[in-house]
Amino acid sequence: MSRYAMVITGRDGEFTAHIPDLKGCMVTGTSIEEVRRNLQVALCFHLGSLQKDGKPITEPKSQSGSVEVCLPGESSERVLNYGVIFVRVGDGYSAYVPDITGLMGQAATVAELTLTMRDKILEHLRRLQRTGDRIAAPATRCESIGVNATSNASSHKLSDTGFLGVRGLHASQVWWDPTTSQLVAASRQQQLVKRVRLEASWGGEIELDFVLIPKGRFEMGSPSAEVGRDPHEIQHQVNLSNTFYSKATPVTHSEWAAVMGTRPWHFKRAHANAPVESISWFDAVEFCNRLSKLEGLRAVYKIKDVKRRENGTIGSATVLTNFKRNGYRLPTEAEWEYSCRAETQTSTYAGPLVIVSDHNSPNLDRIAWYSGNSGVDYDGGFDSTGWTHKQYSSPRAGPHPVGQKNPNGFGLYDTLGNVWEWCWDRYEAYRPGIVTDPQGSNRGQERIFRGGAWSTKVQHCRAANRCKIGAGERAPILGFRPVCSL
């Protein structure tokens, strides 16, 4: 029987549990009992998968413990119990406290390190008292769970698409990295994803990663002083009441081909990991349904009266929806902007736009492929010689492989630039006041697309920028990224 350290973090009735020794072995739930039970099943599944693949099962390196500390100087001597993870490093141990970012220590034994961590915690609490900062009760507890290393994964009904979860409820935590034998800081950009594995039509597997996007409230639209702003971006408050998964990148050529078995894109010579483009809104909806079916989820859409073009893409159809189902779908416009902003309020998640010219923005270059930096050398690239004052000179432009620019705070790539992304909503003017889970108008044929593309001028690559077009239209700048409700 092997015993693995387990960290349980909980706030507001929501709990997350993970095993520091195993990246990706994490679950969420509504009680400690639930996450403990589900994590043990996930651990059995993980070990069974290693056995099935003929990979070695190594003993855990981490131990769970706790340190009780009385608040210094308080007559009531209120006791706080902090969870601690001890990690074997060489001949000694390192330790960290998940609730206190940066609080770490080293010693030769766990017993010695426990005393060291108690002193460090007390020093931290005294510093908080001196500065007048509030001392919150620990939200994390550490335990251990036992599991038989000969567990049979086939006896556990877990999806082959991977484990669901999120890297805790703190903006930053310390994690054990078994590949480097070091304790490392992990930011929200490294959130755990839901991983979907698909059999590719040409053999082998491909993986689609979906990042957990927490529910929340944000200011949608743009302030009147924002550079490049359009008047219809009226700023208003939106409440999103449900957590959901968003694909980490736009859908790529290889992913589309694996799911749909077709190759409708314009840039035939672009990389297999380039975003799929020349996709109508109807095509994107059909992809979501096919992906749902492959994973055994209930399709959100019912597509009727389909009229296809010669290349198989959909020019028109009738689409009915059931948002209560758990399949893949297009994000609402509000979900898209919330995901793109990732808790920032500026025009991009990298800060306000700096516009040197229509085709030159140094800070946009770090996060997006746009008209100023999208030069390509593959055949079939778009003639961009008419774009003047570009950030980087090039005669041809086009989409680039996804995931090469810096991600936002939620861990999403290419939300700005590369390809525009279809949203669910029909266009309608923003309403004043606070709105909850908006889904756009019930009338009209034009659908929203957001984010900018490889050919887009600087001022349109903003989180608040809105565009609309007929649902059956296709263009070499139009792509999408699906989402999935929990």
Same domain, 428 and 286: yes
Would 47 be classed as within a structural domain?
Answer: yes
Same domain, 297 and 434: yes
The pLDDT value given to residue 164: 28
Same domain, 372 and 266: yes
pLDDT above 80 (res 114): yes
Same domain, 34 and 96: yes
Same domain, 329 and 447: yes
Beta bridge partner(s), residue 252: 275
Same domain, 315 and 432: yes
The reported pTM is: 0.65
For residue 429 the two structure tokens come to: 């003017």
The domain spanning residue 473 has which CATH number?
Answer: 3.90.1580.10
Spatial distance between the Cα atoms of 328 and 109, rounded to a whole number of angstroms: 49
Same domain, 159 and 219: no
The domain spanning residue 84 has which CATH number?
Answer: 3.30.160.250
pLDDT above 80 (res 389): yes
Average of per-residue pLDDT across 92-97: 90
Would 209 be classed as within a structural domain?
Answer: no
pLDDT above 60 (res 338): yes
Same domain, 329 and 437: yes
Higher-scoring residue by pLDDT: 211, 475: 475
pLDDT above 60 (res 60): yes
Would 381 be classed as within a structural domain?
Answer: yes
What's the residue count for the chain?
Answer: 486
Same domain, 25 and 137: yes
Confidence of residue 50 (pLDDT cuts 50, 70, 90): confident
Lowest mean pLDDT of 120-134, 164-178, 244-258, 459-473, name the range: 164-178
SS3 string of the chain? CEEEEEEEEEECCEEEEECCCCCCCEEEECCHHHHHHHHHHHHHHHHHHHHHCCCCCCCCCEEEEEEEEECCCCCCCCEEEEEEEEEEECCEEEEECCCCCCCEEEECCHHHHHHHHHHHHHHHHHHHHHHCCCCCCCCEEEEEEEECCCCCHHHCCCCCCCCCCCCCCCCEEEEEECCCCEEEEEEHHHCCEEEEEEECCCCCEEEEEEEEECCEEEEECCCCCCCCCCCCCCCEEEEECCCEEEECCCCEHHHHHHHHCCCCCCCCCCCCCCECCCCCHHHHHHHHHHHHHHHCCCCCEEEEEEEECCCCCEEEEEEEECCCCCCEECCCHHHHHHHHHCCCCCCECCECCCCCECCECCCHHHCCCCCCCCECCCCCCEECCCCCCCCCCCCEECCCCCCCCCCCCCCCCCCCCCCEEEEEEECCCCCCCCEECCCCECCCCEEEEECCCCCCCHHHCCCCCCEEEECCCCCCCEECCCEEEC
Same domain, 255 and 338: yes
Higher-scoring residue by pLDDT: 89, 202: 89
Lowest mean pLDDT of 55-59, 71-75, 147-151, 271-275, name the range: 147-151
Would 295 be classed as within a structural domain?
Answer: yes
Spatial distance between the Cα atoms of 176 and 378, rounded to a whole number of angstroms: 41
Q: At what angle do helices 253-260 and 281-295 cross, to 10 degrees?
A: 70
Q: Which of 130, 145, 165 is the last residue of a domain?
A: 165
pLDDT above 70 (res 172): no
Residues 237-256 have pLDDT tens digits of 999 999 899 999 999 999 99
Would 201 be classed as within a structural domain?
Answer: no
Mean pLDDT of the chain: 85
Strands 236-240 and 216-220: antiparallel
**Domain residue limits at 30:** 2-165
Would 175 be classed as within a structural domain?
Answer: no
Residues 392-407 have pLDDT tens digits of 999 999 999 999 999 9
Residues 5/19, Cβ–Cβ less than 8 Å: yes
pLDDT above 90 (res 135): no
The pLDDT value given to residue 41: 74
Same domain, 83 and 146: yes
Would 479 be classed as within a structural domain?
Answer: yes
Residues 6+ apart with CB under 8 A from 164: 27, 28, 194, 212
Spatial distance between the Cα atoms of 142 and 128, rounded to a whole number of angstroms: 23
Q: How many domains does the chain have?
A: 2
Residues 5-19 have pLDDT tens digits of 998 887 656 788 888
Same domain, 160 and 43: yes
Percent of the chain with pLDDT over 90: 56
Would 10 be classed as within a structural domain?
Answer: yes
Lowest mean pLDDT of 68-82, 291-305, 377-391, name the range: 68-82
